[in-house]
Amino acid sequence: MRRTAFFPISDVKAFKRALCRWTETFPVGLYLDSNSASSKADDSRKQSSAEPYWRQFRWECLAAVGVVSAVCAKSGSAFSQLRHFYEQHNDWIFGFLSYDLKNEVERLHSKHPDHLSFPDLYFFCPQVVVGIRASERMQVEIHALELSPAVLLKDILQCASLSNSSNSSRDIFLHPRMHRMKYLDAVAALREHIAAGDVYEVNLCQEFYAEEVKLDPVAVFERLKARTRAPFSAFLRWHDRYLICASPERFLAKRKERLFSQPMKGTRPRVSELQADLCIREMLRYSEKDRAENAMIVDLVRNDLARHCTPGSVVVEELFGVYTFETVHQMISTISGSLAPTEHPISALRDAFPMGSMTGAPKIRAMELIEQYECARRGLYSGSVGYFSPDRDFDFNVVIRSILYRADVGYVSCQVGSAIVYDSGAQQEYEECLIKLEALQRSLLS
């Protein structure tokens, strides 16, 4: 049984910084931050009954540390091992899924070099879970096995001024793995595949990287979080490998019997002048190209959910919603369905993975073309991090807008991408990648 205690806090921002730094002191730890997404939900409800994107945020932040038991698996039988682990533990479970699990879900392969070497799947039952509920911003709750919650709180607060000066570095500048002309050629080739009817849409990604560098992962995460305020931000330490994530996208969530997926397709940069920014937002809202991209993925997600949902229960709650974040405007749709009583949650998670927003449609052919035209293995990028709660609900993000760091060799990787359709202009798609890269690059500058 876990010991649970509640403590008042006076400064949520300061506590979250300390909690993230404390999480990093463990060999394995995961910190999730919604960046006050629930307050945005409250604002949306005052304005309109629509905008379902902001709903379903239960936690302001949530952290898990200390490995009581874990499952670490390669693609092949990973989801069955996760299902067995899930059945064994009626408790908190945290972890991640890598994109290369596609090779288990479908008959695919990954041939590109892997410079980061994260496991394909890793989940753990934590010794300690610490969180602030979205509705109770001035109270922290601690769920611990054996350890005293009061002592743990003291340990967390002592990390408030901690910094990892030994890992500090000079400014880190990223270099493209795929040169610009090769990217433009890949877009042209994919447009030919689309014209031939092989595929309707492909999410083409490219890697920007740096080698033999040192960084303070928490400091970089705090800078990235401040720039983006993304509602699915995540900081993961898995031994000497780190994920520094500012994702705005939910892959899949379960609330009681209801499943939710919220794919993003359509991006525009923010600008400082208010009227120009509003104009850009409205241009995205009525863009035929972006609506076509979004609609294709919505249809794909509907089909993915329908495989395990009660017939007739899958609905599109919002189509082509446009949401504003710190650095970008995004087009987001929300699809939900009721998980059938005879279906297992892990099966629903497996058969929706990888998420359609990061593959294209049809999904299998899109993934084959991704392997053909990209130059780097995606690994944890395009995967997902999240958690299962003791009530058997879950919430998983899409690992995008992320910095991946392997500390033992000093390798930093940032991948960015965009959806290629027949109407795509290669130069415009390349510029969209650079827009998504900008916040990541700036966060690597001290």
Tell me the mean pLDDT in the region 100-126. 97
Residues 6+ apart with CB under 8 A from 128: 64, 65, 66, 142, 143, 144, 145, 147, 152
Q: Measured between alpha carbons, how far is 154 from 150 in angstroms, rounded to an integer?
A: 6
Pick from 39-48, 52-61, 162-171, 325-334: least confident: 39-48
- Please say if the pLDDT value at position 165 is more than 60: no
Q: What is the mean pLDDT of the chain?
A: 94
Confidence bin at 164 (pLDDT 50/70/90): low
Q: Work out the percent of the chain whose per-residue pLDDT is above 90.
A: 91
Tell me the mean pLDDT in the region 2-9. 95
Confidence bin at 49 (pLDDT 50/70/90): very low
What's the confidence (pLDDT) of residue 48?
44
Tokens linked to 400: 């995008």
Taking each helix axis as running N to C, give the angle between helix 180-195 and helix 426-443, from 0 to 180 degrees, rounded to the nearest 10: 130
* Residue 147 near residue 128, CB atoms below 8 Å: yes
Q: Measured between alpha carbons, how far is 351 from 347 in angstroms, rounded to an integer?
A: 6
326 is catalytic: no
Tell me the mean pLDDT in the region 226-235. 96
CA distance from start to end of the chain: 44
What's the confidence (pLDDT) of residue 51?
63
Is cis: bond before 354, omega within 30 of 0?
Answer: yes
pLDDT tens by residue, 349-393: 999 999 999 999 999 999 999 999 999 999 999 999 999 999 999
- Please say if the pLDDT value at position 174 is more than 50: yes
How is 108-120 classified by DSSP, letter by letter?
Answer: ----S--SS---S
What's the confidence (pLDDT) of residue 38?
67
265 is catalytic: yes
Confidence bin at 1 (pLDDT 50/70/90): confident
- Please say if the pLDDT value at position 310 is more than 80: yes
Tokens linked to 78: 């990973």
Q: Measured between alpha carbons, how far is 174 from 264 in angstroms, rounded to an integer?
A: 25
The number of domains in the chain is 1
How is 361-421 classified by DSSP, letter by letter?
Answer: ESHHHHHHHHHHH-SS--TTTTSEEEEE-TTS-EEEE---SEEEEETTTTEEEEEEEEEE-
* Residue 394 near residue 388, CB atoms below 8 Å: yes
What's the confidence (pLDDT) of residue 432?
94
C-alpha to C-alpha distances, 381 to 38, 117, 401, nearest whole angstrom: 26, 12, 9
Residues 6+ apart with CB under 8 A from 442: 223, 227
Q: Work out the percent of the chain whose per-residue pLDDT is above 70.
A: 95
Confidence bin at 160 (pLDDT 50/70/90): confident
pLDDT tens by residue, 317-358: 999 999 999 999 999 999 999 999 999 999 999 999 999 999
Tell me the mean pLDDT in the region 287-310. 96
Q: Bridge-partner residues for 259, per DSSP?
A: 254, 337
The answer, as to whether pTM is greater than 0.75, is yes
Tell me the mean pLDDT in the region 156-165. 80
pLDDT tens by residue, 246-296: 999 999 999 999 999 999 999 999 999 999 999 999 999 999 999 999 999
Q: Measured between alpha carbons, how far is 394 from 326 in angstroms, rounded to an integer?
A: 26
Confidence bin at 37 (pLDDT 50/70/90): confident
pLDDT tens by residue, 73-82: 999 999 999 9
Residues 6+ apart with CB under 8 A from 366: 199, 201, 202, 203, 359, 360
- CATH number at 337 reads 3.60.120.10
Confidence bin at 166 (pLDDT 50/70/90): low
What's the confidence (pLDDT) of residue 45?
43
Pick from 121-130, 180-189, 318-327: least confident: 318-327
- DSSP conformation class of 339: B
- Tell me the Cα Rg of the chain: 21
Give the count of beta carbons closer than 10 Å to the beta carbon of residue 210. Answer: 18
- Please say if the pLDDT value at position 167 is more than 90: no
Catalytic choice (51, 249, 368, 429): 249
pLDDT tens by residue, 52-73: 777 668 899 999 999 999 999 9
Confidence bin at 44 (pLDDT 50/70/90): very low
- Please say if the pLDDT value at position 46 is more than 50: no
- Domain with 10, as residue range(s), is 3-443
Catalytic choice (16, 40, 225, 265): 265
pLDDT tens by residue, 6-35: 999 999 999 999 999 999 999 999 999 999
